[in-house]
Amino acid sequence: MNFSPELLAPEIAVAFFAVVVIVLDLFLERKGTLAVVSLAGLAVAAGLTIARWGADPDTTFNSMLVVDQFALFFKLLFLGVAALIILASADYVSKFRRFQGEYYALVLFATVGMMLMASTAELVSIYISLELASISLYVLAGFLKSPESSEAGLKYLLLGAVSSAVLLFGMAFVFGVTGETHLGQIGDSIRNMGLDKLWDSPALLMGIVFLVAGFGFKIACVPFQMWVPDVYEGAPTPVTAFLSVASKAAGFAVIMRVFYTAFGQATALSTDWGMLFAVLGVASMTVGNVVAIAQTNIKRMLGYSSIAQAGYLMVGLAAIGYAPIGDILGRSGVIFFLASYAVTNLGAFIAIIAISNKVDSDLIDDYSGMARRAPLLSLALALCLISLIGLPPTAGFIAKIYIFNSAVQHDLMWLVVIAVLNSVVSAYYYLRVVKVMYLGEPASEEGVPSSAALRTALSISLLGVLFFGILPRYLLNIAESAVKMLT
């Protein structure tokens, strides 16, 4: 048995600091320190992750966990997102009378779960790390005691439990056919089965479909998106941001590893699930964008927009399915899109946190004339929305070009045409918010105050949006090196 806990050092550090936060919360009167301790934990973990950067891939715990460039990239992404979320929620949380420590600790535990999700290469540990992330998020979604938040938490819990069951069922089918839980060995077993035998075992195909359904819930794609609008609306806004960015990215990380490693070796099979993702992607884009047009609440609108974004990402997954082995365009495209989507969506949500803190409403109409009340916040929100449409000079533009390019390379022209048409539709509802902010009449002349921590978080995400948009080469290199080692 190879046992090297030092490979898990980042996860252990985050979990340790989460426990420290809980204990400090019990004995400390000044709760402001909790956010600082959480950030310190994330920084330590990020340092430990960067220290491994570029090293050869290694496995531990009987190769249940893989520490490769791919895993390290996602760990850094989750750590960064969690840090921005904690910075952005400092104000928000300081209003809580109780359970401030638990909030930070749960964010950290969810981060640990997601980090493990990115580096597991075995079905059972995938399930456990997914549950660690999910259960923390269920509690966070219902963290406010308001009826909406409770509804969000309960809805997320019940639907999440069903989706976990479906996922586990799919894993059971795959295990039943191949007799393996380790992804690499599942891949070998499927390759050895041969094509005719593959078609003889509908259980494997059924298992794959169940896995798509289970993971589809995590990434919020149609038709597993029913929970999204209600949970996004009811959950505390920082938690919504965390859900829409980190939880989705973790889902895509797992999908990429599972489908590429276990089901990507046999081309006959991989074009099948490639087509499945393509069709689900079309459904997600269309439903997300069309329904978002009718929304009046900005959190709900961004919820539907995140469904649509999942659809664009699935264009990349389809390209991976069609890609011959060794092609990296599709995978690095998805990774690049996830990173740029993370900074963009976080930026938008952080701006919304600041504005809704002041106006105490999430209705788009209440953003009327915001450009005169809070010029910088409005500019930031407008920039993020432009990036979500996919216009230059923002990260969203490069991300879309890159991911659509990978699909075109693999004869998925029809899919790209649909995706581009959808982007045009999406421009309507994103730009409507910009229009309301810049052309509407302000309800009052009062400014919108924001804390230094929130401004820091917002500037970091905006820098990301512009930097990845204007100088994408650096992130592209990192994304390409992250997928080269993915086995």
Partner 1 sequence: MQLEANYGYIALLLIVAIIFAASLIIIPFILSRLGIIPRKPDPVKTSTYECGMETVGKSWVQFNFRYYFYALLFVLFDIETVFLYPWAVHFKQLKLFGLVEMFIFIFVLAIGFVYAWRKGALEWK
DSSP E strand boundaries for 159-290: none
Nearest partner of 433 among 392, 471, 470, 379, judged by Cα: 379
Tokens describing residue 272: 């099948």
Nearest partner of 455 among 356, 339, 351, 355, judged by Cα: 351
- Name which of 19 and 417 has its Cβ closer to partner 1: 19
Find the angle CA(89)-CA(298)-CA(98) to the nearest 5 degrees: 30
Element (H, E) at 143: none
- What's the min distance (Å) between Cβ of 148 and partner 1? 24
1 binds partner 1, rule: CB under 8 A: no
- What's the min distance (Å) between Cβ of 64 and partner 1? 17
- Name which of 26 and 325 has its Cβ closer to partner 1: 26
Residue of the chain from 2, 6, 23, 146 that contacts partner 1 (CB under 8 A): 23
Chain centroid, CA 262 distance in Å: 22
420 binds partner 1, rule: CB under 8 A: no
Residue of the chain from 19, 51, 420, 421 that contacts partner 1 (CB under 8 A): 19
Residue 284 near residue 225 (C-beta atoms within 8 A): yes
- What's the min distance (Å) between Cβ of 244 and partner 1? 30
- What's the min distance (Å) between Cβ of 189 and partner 1? 15
As a whole number of angstroms, the distance between CA 320 and CA 415 comes to 13
27 binds partner 1, rule: CB under 8 A: yes
Provide φ and ψ at 2, rounded to 5°. -90, 125
Choose the binding region for partner 1 from 15-23, 41-49, 178-186, 228-236 (rule: CB under 8 A). 15-23
DSSP E strand boundaries for 130-241: none
Buried b (16+ CB within 10 A) or exposed e, 297-321: bbbbbbbbbbbbbbbbbbbbbbbbb
Choose the binding region for partner 1 from 16-24, 157-165, 167-175, 391-399 (rule: CB under 8 A). 16-24
Choose the binding region for partner 1 from 22-30, 124-132, 188-196, 367-375 (rule: CB under 8 A). 22-30
Contacts (CB under 8 A) with partner 1, residues 347-376: none
- Name which of 69 and 189 has its Cβ closer to partner 1: 189
Contacts (CB under 8 A) with partner 1, residues 182-241: 201, 203
Rg of the chain over all Cα atoms, to the nearest angstrom: 21
- Name which of 201 and 297 has its Cβ closer to partner 1: 201
**Residue whose tokens read 């690095």:** 332
**Residue whose tokens read 């981060």:** 111
Choose the binding region for partner 1 from 18-26, 235-243, 271-279, 458-466 (rule: CB under 8 A). 18-26
Choose the binding region for partner 1 from 20-28, 83-91, 188-196, 370-378 (rule: CB under 8 A). 20-28
Residue 432 corresponds to which amino acid?
R
Peptide bond just before 5 cis, omega within 30 deg: no
Choose the binding region for partner 1 from 21-29, 44-52, 127-135, 267-275 (rule: CB under 8 A). 21-29
Compute how many residues bind partner 1; rule: CB under 8 A: 7
- What's the min distance (Å) between Cβ of 26 and partner 1? 4
- Name which of 203 and 391 has its Cβ closer to partner 1: 203
- Name which of 18 and 85 has its Cβ closer to partner 1: 18
- What's the min distance (Å) between Cβ of 204 and partner 1? 11
Residue 265 corresponds to which amino acid?
Q
Residue of the chain from 22, 43, 209, 290 that contacts partner 1 (CB under 8 A): 22
Choose the binding region for partner 1 from 19-27, 143-151, 213-221, 261-269 (rule: CB under 8 A). 19-27
Buried b (16+ CB within 10 A) or exposed e, 399-435: bbebbbebbeebebeebbebbeebbebbbebbebbbe
Burial environment of residue 347 by CB neighbours within 10 A (0 to 12, 13 to 18, 19 or more): buried
- Name which of 101 and 347 has its Cβ closer to partner 1: 101
- Name which of 14 and 71 has its Cβ closer to partner 1: 14
Tokens describing residue 68: 């490769």
| DSSP of 400-412 | HHHHHHHHHHTT-
Return residues touching partner 1 (CB under 8 A): 19, 22-23, 26-27, 201, 203
